[in-house]
Homo-oligomer: A and B are copies of this chain.
């Protein structure tokens, strides 16, 4: 559809120029710019990825602010805005989180009892690498909703909405994120960052320049999602 519009606009521009119609040509210029603008928007939506390994490149404070500022433009029930964003940039804190997540993972594995001896050591190595990669980003964010908000029964809508906007805004600025619910264990995060009970953790995400942008995952055909007028 987009290619067709561009072609149409280009044809119009040629027509405009041939007619010497300056204002038509200008109008057509605007259309072409608009098409290009939208093409970039859609490409950014499409190129958002779940990123699990990052470069250590720092993020300018204005970018962090913008990302949160855009997250909170998400719709919320009755405009209640029930969100809190914990922004962790202190490297010591990030390393503490990493170590606590590894420890929690190992504890679970040991108590499961299925993995022992040498295999357990291998698992520990894998887990360590996994969380080192996750927390190689210079920033981690924890998205929360407040149980004492105006309409707490609707927080389960508002939380993911803001987290989704956060990740898209980060992508527009060139950063990778990943919507982590279990990978970054909420209990571990709660304890480490003294998160009060009233704040429910929606998800956590590292934010940073990806080590590399992952390949696009396979997707269902668009028409599989669509039902017209009635089932």
Contacts of A69 on B, CB cut-off 8 Å? 42, 222
| 17 further A-B pairs in the complex, CB-CB below 8 A; given A75-B178, A157-B181, A165-B168 | A1-B65, A37-B40, A38-B172, A41-B41, A42-B69, A48-B73, A79-B217, A79-B218, A85-B225, A87-B227, A88-B230, A157-B202, A160-B161, A161-B161, A164-B165, A168-B168, A193-B229
Residue A127 at the chain B interface, CB threshold 8 Å: no
Contacts of A164 on B, CB cut-off 8 Å? 74-75, 160-161, 164-165
Whether B230 and A193, one on each chain, are in contact in the complex, defined by CB atoms closer than 8 angstroms, is yes
Q: Which residue of B lies closest to A64 (CB)?
A: B226
Query: How many copies of the polypeptide does the oligomer hold?
Result: 2
A181 CB, min distance to chain B CBs, angstroms: 7
Question: In whole angstroms, what is the CA distance A74 to B69 when docked?
Answer: 19
Q: Which residue of B lies closest to A196 (CB)?
A: B231
Contact string against B for A residues 191-231, beta-carbon threshold 8 Å, 1 for contact and 0 otherwise = 01111100000110000000000000111101001111111
Contact string against B for A residues 54-84, beta-carbon threshold 8 Å, 1 for contact and 0 otherwise = 0000000010011011101111010101011
Question: In whole angstroms, what is the CA distance A73 to B49 when docked?
Answer: 9
A194 and B68 in contact (CB under 8 A), knowing A48-B75, A50-B75, A167-B75?
no
Give A contacts to B, CB under 8 Å: 1-2, 4-5, 37-38, 40-42, 45-46, 48, 50, 62, 65-66, 68-70, 72-75, 77, 79, 81, 83-90, 93, 154, 156-161, 163-165, 167-169, 172-173, 178-179, 181, 192-196, 202-203, 217-220, 222, 225-231
Whether A227 and B45, one on each chain, are in contact in the complex, defined by CB atoms closer than 8 angstroms, is no
Whether B160 and A231, one on each chain, are in contact in the complex, defined by CB atoms closer than 8 angstroms, is no
Residue in B156, B167, B181 whose CB lies within 8 Å of A77: B181
Q: Which residue of B lies closest to A172 (CB)?
A: B41
Residue in B37, B66, B156 whose CB lies within 8 Å of A42: B66
